Amino acid sequence: MKSPITGYHRDEEDDWVAQLACGHNQHVRHRPPWINRPWVTTGQGRRKMLGHPLDCKKCDRGEPPDERPNVQSG
């Protein structure tokens, strides 16, 4: 199932995590050559991707919403 990005936060390892409209979180890493998401490295890039749908495997599996931090960054 696809769900749009509504915000971001960083995890305990300082990696960016997208917050999806469905209530799930999904890591959005840029680690070439395996993962190529250069947009995640800048605030402007992350803002441009707000509303962009990502495939949510947690929705596909019927998992409950994830916990989210109170403070969101972008």
Question: pLDDT tens digits, residue range 41-65?
Answer: 999 999 999 999 999 999 999 999 9
What pLDDT is recorded for position 32?
A: 85
Residue 49: φ, ψ to 5°: -90, -5
Residues 15-44, mean pLDDT to the nearest whole number: 94
Scanning the chain, the segments in alpha helix (DSSP H) are 43-48, 57-60
Separation between Cα atoms, residue 23 and residue 4, nearest integer Å: 10
4 has pLDDT over 60: yes
Q: Which of 45, 62, 60 is nearest to 18 (CA)?
A: 45
Structure-token pair, residue 49: 């991707």
Structure-token pair, residue 28: 């959005």
